[in-house]
Homo-oligomer: A and B are copies of this chain.
Amino acid sequence: MSHEKNQELIKKLHECAAACNHCFDACLKEEDVKMMAECIRLDRECADICSYLEHALARNTPFASELASVCAKICEACGNECKKHDHEHCQKCADACFKCAEACKSVA
């Protein structure tokens, strides 16, 4: 799987990491932060692994498939948590997570 071939997955990972980091920031500013605690936690996990995989793919890591498999699970867990909350940042984040999970699975 070459750098060039991975462009679609790299794009989804990038969008997912950005959405998760934005959601992390927005959750910390919400009125009821306690309700968002699990979202905050998973936003960080998901942003970090997506960012990690994005850059590992760009350097042609030999472990793309194994990392994409873990990343898909983390994206799904984060998407499922975000989906529970009505905030626009959570709904957008859930959407980015599920799209990224699909892209990861196609590589895993």
Q: A14-B14, A33-B33, A67-B70 are in contact. Are A62 and B45 (CB under 8 A)?
A: yes
A8 close to chain B: CB less than 8 A: no
| Chain A positions 37 through 73: 1 when the CB is less than 8 Å from some CB of chain B, otherwise 0 | 1101110110111011011101111110011011001
Complex Cα distance, B28 from A48, in Å, reads 18
A66: B residues at CB distance < 8 A: 70, 73-74
Seen from chain A, the residues whose Cβ lies within 8 Å of a Cβ on chain B are: 3, 10, 14, 17-18, 21-22, 24-25, 28-29, 31-34, 36-38, 40-42, 44-45, 47-49, 51-52, 54-56, 58-63, 66-67, 69-70, 73-74, 77
Query: What are the nearest 9 A-B pairs in CB distance?
Result: A21-B58, A21-B59, A33-B34, A25-B60, A33-B33, A28-B37, A66-B70, A18-B58, A25-B59
